[in-house]
Amino acid sequence: MIALAGPQMKIFLMDKETTSCVSCAYAQSEIMQKEVYLFDRLDSAVPRDSISHLKCIAFIRPTQENIDRLIKELRQPKYSQYYIYFSNIISKQDLKTLAEADENEVVREVHEYFLDGIPLRRDLYCLNMNKIYDSSMNLKAAAFERIKQSIVSLMLQLKRKPMIRYQASSLNCRNIAEEVSQVVRRENTLFESAHNEGLLLIVERSLDAITPLLNQWTYEAMIHELITLSNNRLTADGQSMVLSELYDDFFAANITSNFGEIGQNIKTLINEFQEKSKIHKNLESIADMKKFVEEYPQFQKISGTVSKHVTIVGELSKLVSSTNLLEICLGRVKSLLNHPKTTPLNALRLVMLYALRFENHQNNDITTLLSFLRGKNANASQIVRNLLKYGGSGRRSNDLFGGGSTIELTKRFIKGLKGVENIYTQHEPYLKTVIESLLRGRMNEQFPTVSSETCRTDHIVVFVIGGATFEESAYIRNVNAKRAQGLGGPSILLASTFMHNTQSFLDELLTL
């Protein structure tokens, strides 16, 4: 994209969505090495100065608002040349309108560069779009269009025409699947170089409303649950930080490590840093000094990594202790609701899990449990009602609990821990069951295809309408790691409208 503009100083012009996309894919310093010295937004309310000696690289979504802004820009150009890239398909009519607006002939290139979402990782893709439902739990028109466009762009990026399956119990999934299929057929020229392989599986969060409600104990998922990650960024102990596997080796190696393992790995990291610090203190010769100067950037990187992750783990430990997470257990719901350390969020979480499990049990005690929450959360009753309406047994054909005794259920869903050295009980998201069953040729009626076409399923894209979780992304990452080690299995990419933690999921439920 940048190389096509050739040498000379450049400005990178983006919109709100593509700014998030680029910031997760590249470091600003990395882009600046390619003679890009200014970054700005096409949709900024602050007027930009005319700098005629700069070339402009514009990377924007082909929305009507952006087309109108670009028309205005081209009629009064601020830069010498424009190289325009659209993140998705642009219509011929919009191209014609832009050509007519380019009276000064400053546009040198126009391309479709299919990247209409945020690449959080190689196997994780997000639209960062929540509150997508109307009061009837149907997708809002704008959200429906955005999801459809994003999936089409993703298929074009991957150069695949996959078999499309969807969750049969979800009208939203069926409608999206049918629309995507129509676009693929209509845009046959764009898809002519695509491979007829792979599986696109479209599901909705209602398939598994349990996973977003559970406490998480793997590193990335725990950070998002207790601190909150947004586009790979977080704030801990008053410090703003970036967590990206592209530039942080420790994070890349420990994304799916549990809290106990992180405690040990942080200790190892600190020991390694201390050893390097001792070496750098003993600079007795010119050769030592030269070696220190050569290794200094890496030394500084390690120093920053140690400081960042010690701060994060310290914050996690403090929150685990202060919010009573180590004691929460479904077997003692009522006593825990009155425990002084049980936060309103965790109390509500317990009642919601209980409601999902026993909603159809004639002797359930949901009303009594909700009465415990009246003083802690004024919206508790509404949230629980909306949860059962959205993700209860009436909205799904699967059994998330799989029968079994109360003890087995407790083992399955609760992660016990003493300190940071205990063995963790890992919950497996229902998405794992779905993918493994489809690969074995099961559950085809619950996840029908849009057409009768069949393709190899070595490559799978899962799109979750209503938001995914980092627990599900950890499962995807582990599957891909096994494939990379030559142990077989498909490659999987997880895409979703949003990355949920418990609080964001509750906020979504309140809008229904």
DSSP-assigned letters across all residues of 251-282: HHHHTT-BHHHHHHHHHHHHHHHHHHHHHHH-
Which residues make Cβ contacts (< 8 Å) with residue 248, sequence separation at least 6?
242, 305, 308
Q: Where are the alpha helices (DSSP H) in 89-140?
A: 92-101
Task: Specify which residues 195 forms β-bridges with.
Answer: 160
Rounded to whole angstroms, the Cα distance separating 507 from 512 reads 9
Residue appearing with tokens 């933690």: 501
pLDDT for the residue 332: 65
pLDDT < 50 stretches in the chain: 329-331, 404-425
Q: Are 434 and 467 in contact (CB under 8 A)?
A: no
Residue appearing with tokens 């390097």: 276
- Nearest Cα neighbor of 58 from 32, 38, 29 is 38
pLDDT 10s digits, 92-101 = 999 999 999 9
pLDDT 10s digits, 122-135 = 999 999 999 999 99
Q: Are 353 and 336 in contact (CB under 8 A)?
A: no
CA distances (Å), origin 471, targets 400, 427, 468, 510: 16, 9, 8, 23
pLDDT for the residue 85: 97
Report residue 268 as tokens: 């190892």
Indicate the helix (H) or strand (E) that contains 481. Answer: helix 470-484
- Nearest Cα neighbor of 128 from 509, 416, 499 is 499
| Greatest distance between any 2 Cα atoms in the chain | 81
Rounded to whole angstroms, the Cα distance separating 380 from 489 reads 42
pLDDT for the residue 6: 86
Rounded to whole angstroms, the Cα distance separating 54 from 6 reads 12
pLDDT for the residue 420: 39
Structural domains of the chain, with CATH: 3-113 (3.40.50.2060), 119-209+428-510 (3.40.50.1910), 219-322 (3.90.830.10), 325-413 (no CATH)
Rounded to whole angstroms, the Cα distance separating 270 from 190 reads 51
3-class secondary-structure state, position 160:
strand
List the strands of the sheet with 81-86, edge to edge: 36-41, 10-14, 55-60, 81-86, 107-112
pLDDT for the residue 372: 84
